[in-house]
Structure 1
Amino acid sequence: MKRRAVELAARQPYSPRVAAASRVAAFALLWVVLMPSANLGDIAVGLFAAICACATSLWLQPPRQGHLRFFVLISLLPHFLYQSLLAGWDVARRAFDPRMPMQTGLVDCPLDLSPGLPRNTFATITSLLPGSVPCGDNDGALVYHCLDVSQPAVQQLKEEERLFARALVAGDDASQSTGGSS
């Protein structure tokens, strides 16, 4: 029953009003966290600020169809922590052992994630993993600076992309998670 409700929610038609209302609510919540006050004047200013912030965000980043499956993203946290610990250990080993090779360089990682928020979020998440840092974009591929280009960094990043794409739902198709680059 619960799964059916989630599937129906994923197929609901896209509504700019819902996007605007959720942004106003998020900005208002941020205001309450930053300015905890029960004063009516502060609440009015906060609501006005939330509406202005929403209008600006809608202008700068128009809403699109699709959404993030939050619980799937959270389920990736143990994997992310494990990979981060392994990579951190590898970086520390290379930094403190002069015999360990460090062949720094740049690698292009072609991604299937669509440009914009999905790709930027992926770049942000992978920037937290030690050993490789996204540093540019090259014809649809993210450019990463790696400590050791002889390692299979691109294959590891593609696996991370595959896992991250499971948390994305684009448009009305719940099975479509990437905006393929054919």
Structure 2
Amino acid sequence: MLAGANPTDIPAAAAAIAAATWTSLHLLEPSRSRRSIPAMVRLALLFLYQSVVAGVDVARRALDPRLPLRPGFVFYPTGLSRGMQRNVFTTLTSLLPGTVPTGEESGQLVYHCLDVEQPVVAELAAEEAALVRALYND
């Protein structure tokens, strides 16, 4: 899309989509969990709400020198297993302004945040619970 659309590219794009779909279906384990559409909608709305609130907060802190920044690291003890579940969670939380997952230490996820005095761990717990309800209900 960045280079412009050309109808002659459609066969190559279709082949790439088919190959990616086939690879995904054959390499990933089948999942027995059921996806909850209402829970996924709630997760999307929670994500949107938190993105707006956190984005406004980050902008305020960046533009108003009177507002304090207390950057640092917080540790989050996730209940998600290593692998895909943690990857989905850290990907989701990396999109929220003000916090960035930076790694793992002693089984806990490490997040860098702009203000360590904010309820970051409680917010991460709410995100994790919403994600589990939306994607990993068995």
Give TM-score, length-normalised by structure 1: 0.61
Match of 1:139 among 106, 111, 118: 106
1:57 CA drift (Å):
7.5
Distance 1:57 1:145, change over 3 A: farther
- Report if aligned partners of 1:66, 1:169 keep a CA contact under 8 Å in 2: no
- Let me know the Cα RMSD of the aligned residues: 2.9
1:102 partner SS: coil
The equivalences for 1:153-172 within 5 A come to: 153-169=120-136
* Rounded Cα–Cα distance in structure 1 between residues aligned with 2:30 and 2:71: 38
* Rounded Cα–Cα distance in structure 2 between residues aligned with 1:138 and 1:57: 32
Question: Once superposed, which parts of structure 1, at least 4 consecutive aligned residues long, lie more than 3 Å away?
Answer: 49-59, 64-68
- Report if aligned partners of 2:33, 2:136 keep a CA contact under 8 Å in 1: yes
Aligned to 1:116: 83
How many equivalent pairs are there?
130
Match of 1:77 among 41, 44, 47: 44
Q: Give ranges in structure 1 of 5+ residues lacking alignment.
A: 1-34, 175-182
Instruction: Report which structure shows greater RCO (CA 8 Å, sep ≥6).
Output: 2
Q: Give ranges in structure 2 of 5+ residues lacking alignment.
A: 1-8
Give TM-score, length-normalised by structure 2: 0.78
Aligned to 2:4: none
Pick the structure with greater CA Rg. 1
Range 69-78 or range 115-124, more displaced: 69-78
Aligned to 1:151: 118
Match of 1:101 among 68, 82, 87: 68
Match of 1:46 among 12, 15, 18: 15
**Percent identity among equivalent residues?**
44
- Report if aligned partners of 2:36, 2:133 keep a CA contact under 8 Å in 1: no
C-alpha deviations, 1:19-78, integer Å up to 9, x for none? Answer: xxxxxxxxxxxxxxxx524xxxx79x939x84587458745xx41533461623233212
Aligned to 1:36: 10
